Chain A
Amino acid sequence: MKGSSVPAGEGSPAASVATSTSPGLRPPTRRGTELVMLAFAAGLVTLALILVELNQERSLSLRILWLGLAYLGLFGAAHLAVRRWAPYADPVILPCVALLNGLGLVVIHRIDLAFEGVTLPDGTVWDPVAFKQVVWTGIGLVLFAATLKFLSDHRTLARFGYTFGLAGLVALMLPGVLPGFIAPEINGAKIWLRIGPFSIQPGEFAKVLLMVFFAAFLVSKRDLFTVAGRRFLGMDLPRARDLGPLFAAWGVAVAVMVLQKDLGSSLLFFGIVLVLLYVATERAAWVVLGVGMFSGGAVIGWKLFTHVQQRVANWQDPIGRYDILGGGYQIAQSLFGLATGGIGGAGLGAGRPEMIPERNTDFIAAVIGEELGFVGLAAVLLIYMVIALRGLRGAISVRDSFGKLLGGGLAFALCFQVFIIVGGVTNLIPMTGITAPFLSYGGSSLLANYILIALLLRISAAARAPQRAPKPKPQQPAIADQHTVMVERPK
């Protein structure tokens, strides 16, 4: 057998170290493809920035090219980190993330331009946030590289499952139980922690931590969940005592809903738990039960809390409740924006994003829909789909079940988050405040999502890497197999 050749430009020193013992074929690492796609993404983002500046009638300068190159450099560094520490990682995920993040930066910058020098109704001057988001992107990429470096095998995470679970639970509940001066209530949701000049949203990190916990927990207790219980309506219902974790998750989700008035996170969290349970046990009964329980909880929440009633009423009739305080104004403006965009969009920098409320966080999808139109928004959603697709692909082909569960859960979490926020913006489901991953302004969300992507890349690298050669053992061939050697007596 010959060592197979590696395409020019795709073999890296790291790759050859990892597989130098492999005698047979060596699958391509495809890092070259990743670099080309990254350059494409950088070109697109630079073009988007140029279009924004042109449409805002600002003078073009070489500065834009430098910004584009800096952007390429930033993700080039991330690419090198992948090349060094996860040479077999999926080649499509990073460029897709880079494009989404870049588009988000351009749109946030574009919103800054719209508010340049404008005094807001409450008397303050608009504070440009694009630069802050660039800094957050940089920190996010550093965290991304660090995750890849220090986590050389995703299976080590399973060992700290309970620690992660506790940390995640604390992070999720912390803003809800802390007093108002550390955890202020912003826009009716109590999900922020204020530490000095920074505000962080610990719930974003809790999402990833809890996913690690549930994957580890389910892998170790999987058998308990598949024990057949009572049959009911043609389904095998799980035994009551095995329902414990599901009830716990339900309790936490409802508690978060009550304490923090954060509907989006509780929906996201519960959805993740349910999907992990379903993937682990392959039983539809869990999904039916879980959806039933969540609906029950949602109906109770709707009966008890006015803010839930408001959201539902705004969802049913956003335009009719346009003038009511806390009414459908936000969603109606978002729908107007989307309608203005139509099929082809108004053009980057030519829309009126200042008309849309919460334009650079929750409703950023509406801004994109207005300026890039249905065609552009569909492309953005497809890019999310590609990321999730590749994440699931890695989860299917990875060789251990913890990796499968975690990868599937992470990919689903990303998808579900996009569904919740874009569904809210387009009025498909009641609006719940949650960020659009990588697009929205917000440090915590960006950092947590970069860690999530690093974990997905780690799992896909484990799935795609050739199997490691078993440890070389000083093996003596069986006596019958040994060659007969003529030994001459030394003279």
Chain B
Amino acid sequence: MQLTRAGFLVLLWLFVLAALRVVRSDLYAASGLRASGLPGFRRSEKSARGSKAPRQLVVTHGALTGTRISLDGRPILIGRADDSTLVLDDDFASTRHARLSMRGTDWYVEDLGSTNGTYLDRAKVTAPLRVPLGTPIRIGKTVIELRS
């Protein structure tokens, strides 16, 4: 009787701990950060080795602050269009505002004919420009940067 009572409570807490354990192992997967120790979540060899290669795009200012997108080599479309990778609802952003794409190991930003322009650090982006790590890219009221 006493044993079953305690046993059930122990099992209940084991469930809570199991749930929290899953949450912990999942924290990184959801945020797009590297999840070490997760089976089957291996990065492609190149990007995992070189610590200088950008691995994620982070929104540092604006409505979407804190959003992270992991980079996997595919181009990233930024704008108000629903099918953009990063959907902005910002009156100063255009429907298709800018694109980040990878050439070789570097990422380049190019403006897709936006009304208010795209700025890399202070310079207006008129032709595709290489984006160094940690350099702010300003689109309307949103600022993003690449991080490793």
User: Interface of A with B (CB < 8 Å)?
Assistant: 1-2, 4-7, 10, 22-25, 27-28, 30, 33, 37, 40-41, 44, 47-48, 51, 54-55, 90-92, 95-96, 99, 155, 219-220, 222-223, 344-345, 347-348, 350, 372-373, 375-376, 379-380, 382-383, 386, 389-390, 393-394, 396-397, 399-402, 404, 460, 463-464, 466-471
Contact = CB atoms under 8 A, between A and B. Distances in A.
B9 A44 contact: no
B13 A379 contact: yes
Contacts of B63: 222, 401
A464 B30 contact: yes
A47 B8 contact: yes
* Residue of A41, A467, A471 with most partner-chain B CB within 10 A: A467
Given A27-B29, A47-B11, A345-B5, 4 more contacts: A219-B89, A397-B68, A401-B89, A468-B83
A99 B83 CA distance: 37
15 contacts: A1-B44, A4-B44, A37-B18, A47-B8, A47-B11, A219-B89, A222-B63, A344-B5, A372-B8, A376-B9, A379-B15, A379-B16, A399-B69, A401-B89, A402-B89
Contacts, number: 153
Contact residues of B: prevailing secondary structure: mixed
A1 B8 contact: no
A24 B9 contact: no
Interface stretch (B19-27, B105-113, B116-124): B19-27
B115 interface: no
A464 B29 contact: yes
B8 A470 contact: no
A22 B72 contact: yes
Nearest to B2: A347
Task: Give 7 closest A-B pairs by Cβ, nearest first.
Answer: A24-B72, A7-B40, A347-B5, A379-B12, A400-B87, A1-B44, A382-B16
A220 to B, nearest CB: 8
Interface in B63-89: 63-64, 66-70, 72-77, 82-83, 85-87, 89
Interface of B: 1, 4-6, 8-9, 11-13, 15-16, 18-20, 22-23, 26-27, 29-32, 38-44, 63-64, 66-70, 72-77, 82-83, 85-87, 89, 91
A274 B18 CA distance: 33
B1 A347 contact: yes
A272 to B, nearest CB: 20
A109 to B, nearest CB: 16
Contact of A25 (B9, B41, B77): B41
A149 to B, nearest CB: 20
B22 A33 contact: yes
Given A92-B22, A223-B91, A399-B67, A28 B9 contact: no
Given A386-B16, A393-B30, A463-B30, A44 B11 contact: yes
A460 B29 CA distance: 12
A456 to B, nearest CB: 13
Nearest to B67: A399
A467 B69 contact: yes
A151 B22 CA distance: 26
B74 A44 contact: no
Contacts of B83: 468, 470-471
Nearest to A346: B5
Contacts of A4: 40-44
A99 B15 contact: yes
B85 A467 contact: yes
B41 to A, nearest CB: 6
A5 B32 contact: no
A399 B22 CA distance: 23
A399 B23 contact: no
